Chain A
Amino acid sequence: MSESRQDQLTDHSYDGIQEYDNPLPGWWKLLFWGTFGFSVLYWTWFHIWPGQSIIATWEAQVEEARSQGYARFGELKDDAETLVRLMNDPEAVAIGQALFQSKGCVACHGPEGGGVVNLGANFTDDYAINFQTIDQIPNIIRTGVPGTAMVSQTALLAPAEVYFVAAYVASLRGKTVANAKERDPRAKPIEPWPTF
């Protein structure tokens, strides 16, 4: 067993355990003091320099996303103007259609929104049970229809996505699709979608 020359025993002995008096490794000291120095710099940057707080960073992120993401479709509200605008925008309808197909709407409403007997409504005809105007559609997606299989979809759809699905649903009206469901006796005729 070869001992390094720096190993000098202290005169301590506890229950037979001895201790060397070795110096601390240089890299250890460097990193130890380095973390102290880093801390002072970090504090200065994040707490003294302006604009670095967590909330400020979050606000900047939200603003950036708004300007890049769905913001190009303008403000999204539960009104006819929003829905008609989206319905007439092929890009928005395509997003709605993708969501309609990926989030399970097709299970009850058919692959093209033509409805399924004893399950979901047909969106391609001019009748509806649960809405009369275009601006009511988003809220039905959000709340569902009590007593039916139509439950709230908010667990699946982000708030903005609801509008795109609603716009897609509205856009289906008047389309001819295979296996479209017959008119439900409870369904009432609805006015044509408004124009702006």
Chain B
Amino acid sequence: MSTENAGKPDLPLERFSYDDAIVRKFVFATLIWGFVGMLVGVLIALQLAWPKANDFGLDAAWTQILAFGRLRPLHTNAVIFAFAGNAIFAAVYYSSQRLLKARMFSDLLSRLHFWGWQLIIVLAAVTLPLGITTGKEYAELEWPIDILIALVWIVFGINFFGTLVKRREKHIYVAIWFYIATWVAITVLHVFNSLEVPATLTRSYSLYAGAQDAFMQWWYGHNAVAFFLTTPFLGLMYYFLPKAANRPVFSYRLSIIHFWSLVFIYIWAGPHHLHYLAVPEWLSTLGMLFSLMLWMPSWGGMLNGLLTLRGAWDKVAKDPILKFFVVGVTFYGMSTFEGPMLSVKAVNALSHYTDWTIAHVHGGALGWVGFMCFGMAYWLLPRLFQTGEMAKPKWLDLHFYLATLGILVYIVSIYAAGLTQGLMWRAFDDTGLLKYTDFMDTVRILRWFYVIRLAGGLLYLTGAGLALVNAVLTWKKRPAAYEVPVYEAPPLSALEAAAPAPVAEKALRPFFWAGLALAGVCAAVALIPGVTDSPKVGAFLALVGGFGLATAAIDLFMKVGWHRRLEGRPLAFTGWVAASVVSASLFEAIPTFVIESNVPTISAVKPYTPLELAGRDIYLAEGCYNCHSQLVRPIRAETERYGPYSKAGEFVYDHPFQWGSRRIGPDLARVGTKTLTPGWHLRHLRNPLDTSPDSLMPRYKHLLEAPLDFAGIPKRMRAMQILGVPYDDTAVAGGAEAARAQAEELAARLEQETGVAGLADKKVTALIAYLLRLGTDAMPKEAGR
């Protein structure tokens, strides 16, 4: 029994114990799903180095499940939501109970949370390879699973906030602040990005279209990085790193300022994924500038981690757990420098759509998230299983070196690949023409980088395998019955009654008043009629006003006494976090949706035909967006290569948008305007090597055999109609017939060109119809079509 009641001997004591069984479950789930997710990662890395791995020569039923476009979302979802997700929950359940001196609110909710989350993972693992996907990156899971995620997340929320309410610690520690931010922000992000209209049980369409969908998606996508892969892991760091090092945290003040600046600034940064794309320029500039402003808040976390180890470096040299933490935090620092750098438009023009982005996320995921997870697991497992140490203590160092080497091999090769391809795409020769007109020239050269990357991935996976085996061996050494320590502490009510009077506050400093005055002046200028008619001036005023408000807010937070009181009121604290996240989101979202000039309409752009719509669904299901973008940037190298740059008005019927984030293959925004014939597309889809030697693309020959669901087309059109796509009721009712008619015409053309008959009711015909339509509305077709 332990008591932390020194100096307050007269307070009543309550006895309690912690629920470690739930932590044991989450830690094991972390290691198992981590291994599975990384294994899928190695498989898709193999597919890029050796494209035969897309089907291994197996029959059509397998090829569609194994192809890169199906497995890549499985990899990202498994690593983010299964591996990192379970690690977050392990950290929250272990540390919150101890930091709050309270058992979790409800053991039943804990179990519901655990099993519900594992069910979601299993459903994802089944549906994604089957091609059941929304087609939005990192939010691919379909609407029934989205609802399940929301329910489980609410269960987690009730359990976590319930524990906060019954805590026996007056103030909440910085780790808890980060957990609160995680829960609040992910709730908002998941709900608003997942708003969709179901057409069937397994197919829904995003509520938003085109540019607006892109904005929502990357508001979500970037903040999933912020609030799923950053804030909870900072919380994790703030508990496990000082615990493992047995050192005080470097600076409480730094905790306060970097926490609030992260929470307030991060949410704005999403549009840096949309540089040069068909969104208003002010939006992408905001995304860039807020990303730059994020640099120091992020480094605040790194500093507090690394400087906590001052005077303990001798321990770091000996203790593999601290080594994991040090390298993890260092990678955090590197990634959060690289992130702002990549968000600079001039850099992004080169890096966007290349493997540079992939290198960046793996620096974060393998380095920061992975190392923090494994460090935590190695610290927790001997304590959870009460074995004193890991079953194979020497394996920890081996894992550490394998993983460190693996990351370096992985990211260095893929940086090189990204730079190489990015520079080749933009290279012009002396006559002012593209130097590498054939996209394949830029693909062939990447093969060896991909082989090296695969080796790096294998090293990292081997380390994760060692961790899993070591965990199982440790579990085997567990005692017959776990010892459950009982703790004593006074209840919160008694603590509050006995709390000393608040310390006198420091006077407000000049920064506070100066910041407030600046914000006031901006607000006053904005109120002058006519001033905000120009969005440029409005945004400028908002930026300067925001700067002033931030100055005042930061000054206010720096009055430590004020913040200390807030730490004693977790629900008010949560309210402030929610206000920061929501207000910043609305600031960007409202103009994006309300100002019509942001998406200028193009009258020539018409909805897809029923057959093209069905083809688009196949494009989504096959995960084509994982390798092909659909957006030509206003950069000369792109307009030379692909045709006129894309405009927001071209995408108004695209629910969801399909702009993509990586060009493993060429951009398809204008593929319909090229002189590629229907027969070329058929040959290419059946076996890409027939038309494009050395292509990395999987063979889609199963699309020549799979029947198209004509009967389901009206349901899909109906859903689109609800979303505002102008199909009238007659068109919806006759959707299947119209699709058949177009399919028969196209199939006749395919037969004439290639000799392949009987394609009128096959999926491939719908997909080709869609491809032939892409990018044609807003521009005339090239001569010869």
Using a CB–CB distance below 8 Å, which chain A residues touch chain B? 1-4, 7, 9-10, 12-25, 28, 31-32, 35-36, 38-40, 42-44, 46-48, 53-55, 58, 61-62, 65-66, 68-71, 78, 95, 103, 139, 142-144, 146-147, 151-152, 154-161
Contacts and interface: CB of A to CB of B under 8 A. Distances in A.
Contact of B433 (A40, A54, A158): A158
Given A58-B639, A95-B431, A152-B677, A21 B281 contact: no
B252 interface: yes
Nearest to B344: A42
Contacts of A38: 289, 292
Given A62-B636, A158-B434, 8 more contacts: A17-B238, A24-B254, A39-B289, A39-B292, A47-B285, A47-B540, A54-B276, A68-B432
Contacts of B248: 7, 9, 17-20
B300 A70 contact: no
B635 A22 contact: no
B784 A139 contact: yes
A43 B439 contact: no
Contacts of A24: 251, 253-254, 257, 300
Contact of B540 (A14, A48, A156): A48
Interface string B751-785: 00100000000000000000000000000001111
A155 B666 CA distance: 10
B292 to A, nearest CB: 5
B619 interface: no
A36 B540 contact: no
Residue with the greatest number of chain B CB neighbours at <10 A, chosen from A14, A53, A62: A14
Nearest to A66: B432
A158 B292 contact: no
Contacts of B692: 155
Interface string B245-281: 0001111111101000100000000000000100001
B98 interface: yes
A43 B300 CA distance: 25
Contacts of A28: 254, 296, 299-300, 303
A82 B303 CA distance: 66
A142 B432 CA distance: 21
Given A1-B311, A10-B252, A22-B253, A17 B285 contact: no
Contact of B439 (A18, A53, A143, A155): A155
A21 B251 contact: yes
Contacts of A62: 636, 639
B634 interface: yes
Contacts of A53: 281
Nearest to B785: A143
B295 interface: yes
B784 A58 contact: no
Contacts of A139: 783-784
Contact of A43 (B171, B543, B560, B636): B543
Given A24-B254, A28-B300, A47-B539, A19 B432 contact: no
B318 to A, nearest CB: 15
Contacts of B297: 32
Nearest to A4: B310
B437 A21 contact: no
Contact of A20 (B251, B543, B679): B251
Contact of B250 (A13, A20, A155): A20
Given A69-B431, A161-B437, A3 B251 contact: no
A60 to B, nearest CB: 10
A15 B650 CA distance: 57
A10 B310 CA distance: 17
A39 B290 CA distance: 8
Interface residues of B, number: 80
A46 B303 contact: no
A39 B315 CA distance: 41
A70 B432 contact: yes
Nearest to B257: A24
Q: Is the interface of B mostly helix, strand, loop or mixed?
A: helix
A49 to B, nearest CB: 10
B547 interface: yes
B289 A42 contact: yes
B255 A65 contact: no
A62 B634 CA distance: 10
Contacts of B292: 35, 38-39
A57 B438 CA distance: 26
Nearest to B679: A146
B634 A70 contact: no
A155 B675 CA distance: 9
Contacts of A55: 634
Nearest to B784: A143
A23 B288 CA distance: 29
A44 B679 CA distance: 52
Contacts of A151: 680, 691
Contacts of A160: 433
A3 B282 contact: no
Contact of A40 (B345, B547, B783): B547
Interface string B221-244: 000000000000000001100110
Given A48-B536, A154-B674, A155-B439, A21 B253 contact: yes
A192 to B, nearest CB: 25
B169 interface: yes
8 contacts: A12-B252, A17-B249, A19-B248, A28-B300, A71-B432, A143-B785, A146-B679, A152-B680
A156 B639 contact: no
B22 interface: no
B437 A158 contact: yes
Contacts of B645: 58
Residue with the greatest number of chain B CB neighbours at <10 A, chosen from A38, A47, A144: A47
Contacts of B242: 17-18
B675 A152 contact: yes
B239 to A, nearest CB: 7
Contacts of B547: 36, 39-40
Nearest to B637: A61
